[in-house]
Amino acid sequence: MQLSGNYQTSDAIQGSLIDLHRGDRAILDGIDLPGEEARRLMELGFLPGTQITAGRSAPGGDPQVFQVDGSEIALRRETARRLKVRREKVAKPVQTPGA
Amino acid sequence: MSGCSDCQTCAAATVPFPGPQTAPRTVAVIGPPNSGKTTLFNRLTGLRQKVANFPGVTVEQHTGVATLPDGRQVQLIDLPGVYSLSPRSEDEQVAFDVLTGRREDTARPEAVLLVLDSTNLSRNLMLAAPILALGMPTLVILNMADDLSRRGGRVDLKKLSAELGAPVALIAARQGMGIEQVFDFLAGAMPKPEPKQLPVLQDVPKCRAWAGQVGEQAAYLPPIPPKWTRRLDSVFLHPLWGALIFLVVVVGIFQTIFGIAAPSQVAVDRLMHGFGNWIAIVLPASLFRSLIIDGVLGGVGSVIAFLPQILLLFLFIGILEDSGYLARAALIADRTMAKVGLQGKSFIPLLSAHACAVPAILATRTIENKRDRIATILVAPFMTCSARLPFYILIVAAFIPKKQLLGPFLSEGAAAMLGLYALGFAMAVFTARVLKSSILKSSRTPFLLEMPSYRWPTFQSLGLRLLDRAKIFLHRAGTIILLVTVIMWAMVNVPYTNGHPPKIEDSMAGVAGRTIEPIIKPLGFNWKIGIGLITAVAARETMISTLGTIYGMDPESNKHGLEAALHNDLTPGGAVALLVFFAFAMQCISTIAVVRRETGGWKWPAAQFAYMTAVAYIGAFAAAHIIH
């Protein structure tokens, strides 16, 4: 995982997508998956630097829906674990209209 | 539409458009999944569609003819929904091959209709890069204009068109709004695209940055998130209510198919019967009459009888899919299915297989992962389909005493029936596990499921889909069943001597039954059951009619009815063995045909038939030797 100097690493909490609770937002840092799989995820909007919001999940918490680049994509935990993210501040719940 | 001002000059320079008698122009329709590509395709072509598989692969090919206002015809190819053109999945490979003219069976299209979801334009535009790079005349269609404006989004079409160097149309395919622009394009001169710039196609981040830039130049304002989708998801994906609603939907579908399909099946049966009686009056008694009534009507009738429940099932799947709930159902079911090595999208096909394996196998089309799809196809026929029911009921009634097991709630007969359901299910789970941990070990594509916004299904889309399925079912499965029943009919009537059919044991069918008797003797079956098993290879229900015919010819057994005749002719061990054999064997020519069609060859159906027959034989052998 490489962070460029533009980011304030001191405030950032690093982890993976499975650390996010519903409504938490984070910035995608990198995808720890082989090229082809990472590419497929990137085509769906999971690009490094993109903001991801954790959404609802199936009963039991797996798979979980993530809001990314204007759409909602469900990932299994085994995949979500490989998506490394960074949160700028302490996560606060996001206002989801109607929810 | 911009770009049209130049068209005038191009049009003057081009060769006059060929008349309708020559081969029509071919135009491909492409777009990401959930962009409303198929809705537009249906709008443009209506009922003039053909569905087939691309030979060699499991990807479905929809072609249709659109008639332009001036009467000319354009052939449209509906390509599978793809996120990119880099050929990795089978869908992308087909899209890529068709667009570049590499498929010999499909003419290279002259132009492309690129359908994008206008409510998520920035990401959708990523697909525009590889499409425009092909250099083919392209119309960029921004679909779901109604959603875009309702949710406060907007885009400058002129500027977008200038950026992409291609005409752009904003439409709402479901309402038919703006469709005339598509016709204008199809009728026009179709200029080649001249985009201001294109990104390096292999670099996804660069493509996304390019798409974002184009959107920015076109003053694209994304709409606010769909309020109703969020509201509905707070119910449908609620940890408690979501699970309950899921169960209600599943049980409801199951119940309705059993509740409504059975009477409608009886009605179709009666209709065929009535038709047969009418023919019996009109035609004199002859070999020809027997062929029509016992062969053709019997064969076609046994197929048509399944049509109501197949259409019903597809209506449900259509509503679930079009409304957006199917993606949620797949999400909820995923964890349970993952335990067997399958995934959420396998759930609906396996549920449907309890009605009939044929629509279930067609329903596996929603599974993009090829290995998961084949595994689902291979285990689906183990589910207790409705064609097994009549025979189960007959044997259970003949051999299981009518005793109550749990007071008035559960009789021994009902318990036996439940046991048979469990048996099929258990074997499906076992087989899925074996397959998924060996030859069909999951390819490494991660499970990804896009959650579309909820929408109302339209009658047009549901109706077209049902018509499609009815046509495919009647044509493909019908021709094969018909052929086999006619062959079976002939085998019962050969050698035909002195104007009379032979005694059943002397007929070709009887000889065949006695030939296989040594093989089935260890299972406790005699040659009469053997004939039944041979005919049941075509379709399970024919077992009953065959046994009815065979035992009906013997005056002694005819007196007491089929139930008593079977009771006398089979040991209890043989009866259980027969049930086990029916639970496991792949006795259904329609299923074999549909597996061949869906997997694109004989490899899988042959392996499946061999495996299921082996399991059935071993299971029946074990049952016959354990129970005496």
Which residue of A65, A78, A81, A83 is the best one to mutate when testing the B interface, meaning the one whose CB has the most B CBs within 10 A?
A: A65
Q: Are the beta carbons of B205 and A99 separated by less than 8 Å?
A: no
Q: Are the beta carbons of B233 and A42 separated by less than 8 Å?
A: no
Q: Are the beta carbons of A39 and B204 separated by less than 8 Å?
A: yes
CB A86 within 8 A of CB A7: yes
The domain limits of chain A are 13-87
Q: Are the beta carbons of A63 and B335 separated by less than 8 Å?
A: yes
Between strands B448-451 and A71-75, the pairing is: antiparallel
**pLDDT tens-digit series, residues A24-81:** 999 999 999 988 889 889 999 999 999 999 999 999 888 999 999 999 999 999 999 9
Q: What would the two tokens of residue B619 be?
A: 């299971």
Answer whether B442 touches A (CB < 8 Å).
no
CB B191 within 8 A of CB B6: yes
Share of residues in chain B with pLDDT > 70 (%): 87
A vs B: CB pairs below 8 A: 117
Helix then strand then coil, % of chain B, to nearest 5: 60, 10, 30
Query: Buried (b) or exposed (e) across B584-618, using 16+ Cβ within 10 A?
Result: bbbbbbbbbbbbbbbbbeeebbeebbebbbebbbe
Q: How far does the CA of residue B332 sit from the closest CA of chain A (Å)? A: 5
Query: Which of B191, B194, B187, B132 has its CA nearest to residue B10?
Result: B191
Q: Is the dihedral of CA B9, B12, B13, B17 positive or negative?
A: positive
CATH of domain A13-87: 2.30.30.90
Q: How far does the CA of residue A23 sit from the closest CA of chain B (Å)? A: 12
Answer yes or no: is pLDDT of B19 > 60: no
**pLDDT tens-digit series, residues B353-366:** 887 788 788 878 77
Q: What would the two tokens of residue B458 be?
A: 């339209």
Q: What is the mean pLDDT of residues B159-163?
A: 96
In chain A, which residues touch B (CB < 8 A)?
33-34, 36-37, 39-45, 47-48, 55-60, 62-63, 65, 67, 69-76, 78-79, 96-99
CATH of domain B4-224: 3.40.50.300
**pLDDT tens-digit series, residues B294-320:** 777 766 676 677 677 778 877 888 898
3-state secondary structure of B475: helix
Q: Are the beta carbons of B224 and A63 separated by less than 8 Å?
A: no
Q: Are the beta carbons of A59 and B227 separated by less than 8 Å?
A: no
Residues of chain A neighbouring B228 (CB-CB closer than 8 A): 98
Q: What would the two tokens of residue B469 be?
A: 């399925």
3-state secondary structure of B13: helix
Q: What's residue B144's pLDDT?
A: 94
CA atoms of B65 and B115, how far apart (whole Å): 18
Calculate the CA B247 to chain-centre distance: 23
Q: Is the pTM for the entire model greater than 0.80?
A: no
Residues of chain A neighbouring B225 (CB-CB closer than 8 A): 67, 96-97
More confident residue, B82 or B489: B82
Answer yes or no: is pLDDT of B337 > 90: no
Q: Are the beta carbons of A58 and B205 separated by less than 8 Å?
A: no
Answer yes or no: is pLDDT of B499 > 80: no
Answer yes or no: is pLDDT of A9 > 80: no
- Does the complex come out with an ipTM higher than 0.85? no
DSSP B283: S
Answer whether B239 touches A (CB < 8 Å).
yes
* Residue B556 pLDDT class (50, 70, 90 cuts): low
Q: Which of B187-191, B375-379, B605-609 has the lowest mean pLDDT?
A: B187-191
More confident residue, B567 or B254: B567
Give whichever of A11-20, B137-146, B277-286 has the largest mean pLDDT: B137-146
Q: How far does the CA of residue A34 sit from the closest CA of chain B (Å)? A: 9
Which residue of B119, B200, B244, B448 is the best one to mutate when testing the A interface, meaning the one whose CB has the most A CBs within 10 A?
A: B448
How does the average pLDDT of chain B come out, rounded?
84
Residues of chain B neighbouring A46 (CB-CB closer than 8 A): none
Residues of chain B neighbouring A40 (CB-CB closer than 8 A): 83, 88, 445-446, 448
- Read off φ and ψ for residue B406, nearest 5 degrees: -130, 70
More confident residue, B484 or A5: B484
Query: Which of B348, B350, B353, B316 has its CA nearest to residue B332?
Result: B348
Locus of tokens 């035909």: B496
Give whichever of A26-30, B24-28, B524-528 has the largest mean pLDDT: A26-30
